[in-house]
Amino acid sequence: MTSASGTPATEGQAPHTAIIWTGAYTPDGGGRAEGIGALRANGDGSLEWLGTAVEAQSPSFVAVHPTLPVVYAVAEQRRMVQAYRHVGGHTLEPMGTPWPAGEATCHVAVDPQGRFVTATCWGDGQVLLYELDADGGITERFPASPSVDPHAAHSPDERRQSRAHTSLTLQDGRVMTTDLGHDTLRIWTYKPGTGLVADHEVALPFGSGPRHLAQHSSGNVFVVSEYSIEVFVVRPEAGTFELVFRGPATLGGARDGDSAAEICLGPGGTFAYAGVRGSNRISVLEVGSDGSELLPVQDVYSGGDWPRHHLVQGPWLHVAHERSDNVATFALDPGTGLPGPVVHNVKTPSPTALVPNG
């Protein structure tokens, strides 16, 4: 196999795995970054700011090809998706031309088999699939069918805007996307040459605003809701996901001005971590009932202002703060799952995503 940079690549490997790419906002999105950033993850859990990997316009979310040195990023304000080659060190370069996306394209993800990239658009609700070639380059673009609000009867005098926010390739190969505006989870099947074909959807409570997802080893999917500051669990039953749990995302409850952002799993899948902007908290949730419950254990200060995204790497929790320009690192207690005090803090301009390179 030959990589997109023209050098041999080994199946299942990506070079420079100590690098974490940072999504960010540039001035066109109200931020202070210059493009995609790069952090070096050291063995003691500390992060080192390496600088801007490539200039880009508000690459608020990035994703990494599973086997090739290729990174994908949105250009949120410019309505585009762009592929980049990893050419060595912490440097990226554009790979091909940008591809059109939708309004406020806020998330991008790569299929674990490297067949396609999905992008979701907060502004107009579009869900898009981009097929990839053997080098990781984008070759085709397919828009998915638009969302229909299952809660339309709740607001007959006002048509709610669909707001697709994130996508996740599931263990069985299907794709799940969230829609903040319509309070839905949509499940899709990938059909080569066609894109995403609607399979079924799960309606969550009106006004909840499902934002981000994580799949547990049980097959259940955990959802954090931006608006209602809750967590949900949906379980696959005979191929169809069903809502089996709803609970608060924090121990201390939602506060005025709060909006939940990210949810991720800790080592072993026994704890989950949800970020809440506004009150700037990370909530630790215990995973119960074989992955069918999420029970708040403790809320901790996130270590900065506006925790947009966070990442667990081994015993470390890294939290990206969009407004205070920093990534705070906590050591996780292996028994309780609880973060200790901030052990490292690195300045990073307007970080909005933390994505390991491999």
> What's the pLDDT tens digit per position in 106-144?
999 999 999 999 999 999 999 999 999 999 999 999 999
Note the pLDDT of residue 282.
98
DSSP state letter for 28: G
Pairing outcome for strands 105-110 and 91-100: unpaired
Report the length, in residues, of the chain.
Answer: 358
Q: What is the pLDDT of residues 48-70, one digit of tens each?
A: 999 999 999 999 999 999 999 99
Per-residue pLDDT, averaged over 25-39, amounts to: 98
pTM listed for this prediction? 0.94
**Number of C-beta neighbours around residue 347 at 10 A:** 10
Per-residue pLDDT band at 358 (split at 50, 70, 90): confident
Backbone angles phi, psi at 322, to 5 degrees: -65, -40
5 pLDDT above the threshold of 50: no
- What percentage of the chain has pLDDT greater than the value 90? 92
**Virtual torsion, Cα 119, 121, 37, 322, nearest 10 deg:** -140
How far is the C-alpha of 264 from the C-alpha of 249, rounded, in Å? 12
337 pLDDT above the threshold of 90: yes
Note the pLDDT of residue 66.
97
Q: What tokens appear for 8 in the block?
A: 């041999």
Per-residue pLDDT band at 158 (split at 50, 70, 90): confident
How far is the C-alpha of 137 from the C-alpha of 131, rounded, in Å? 8
DSSP, residue by residue, 251-310? SS---TT-EEEEEEE-GGGSEEEEEEETTTEEEEEEEEGGGTEEEEEEEEE-SSS-EEEE
